[in-house]
Amino acid sequence: MSWYKVTHISNIPLREGRKVRLPNRRELALFNLGTHFLAIDQQCPHLGGPLSDGIVVGDTVVCPLHAWKICLSTGSVRKPASNSCVRSYPTRIENETVFIEFTEEIPEQVAS
């Protein structure tokens, strides 16, 4: 479990998102919702569209490629009906700087 110190809050304008590339090359999308910041995977569960480039609608983001709507706090797909989802990541703010917590997924044990 690691917290990453990402960037000064002013670098992410209100209701916009930015792509964040972690040292392990993992790409996340970080959004400024005015009162708080939310982070999810960068790649859209549909066909991999860049979610940080979407329009923010309430607590969701609309993918710029084919308008799937993804919930920013849970990572679930709101529209269309779909079971796929992306991961969401805890964030916090300290000294006007955003931090994201990222934990490597532990691959499930394969039953032998």
Instruction: Return residues touching ligand FES (CB under 6 A).
Output: 44, 46-49, 63, 65-68
Binding partner at 18 among another protein, ligand FES, none, C-beta below 5 to 8 Å by kind = another protein
We find the least distance from the C-beta atom of residue 107 to another protein, in angstroms, to be 22
Give the separation between CA 73 and CA 38, rounded to whole angstroms. 7
**Do the Cβ atoms of 101 and 90 come closer than 8 Å?**
yes
Instruction: Give the one residue of 58, 73, 84, 93 binding another protein; rule: CB under 8 A.
Output: 58
Give the separation between CA 92 and CA 100, rounded to whole angstroms. 7
Site string for another protein, 21-40 (x = CB under 8 A): xxx------x----------
Give the separation between CA 50 and CA 4, rounded to whole angstroms. 21
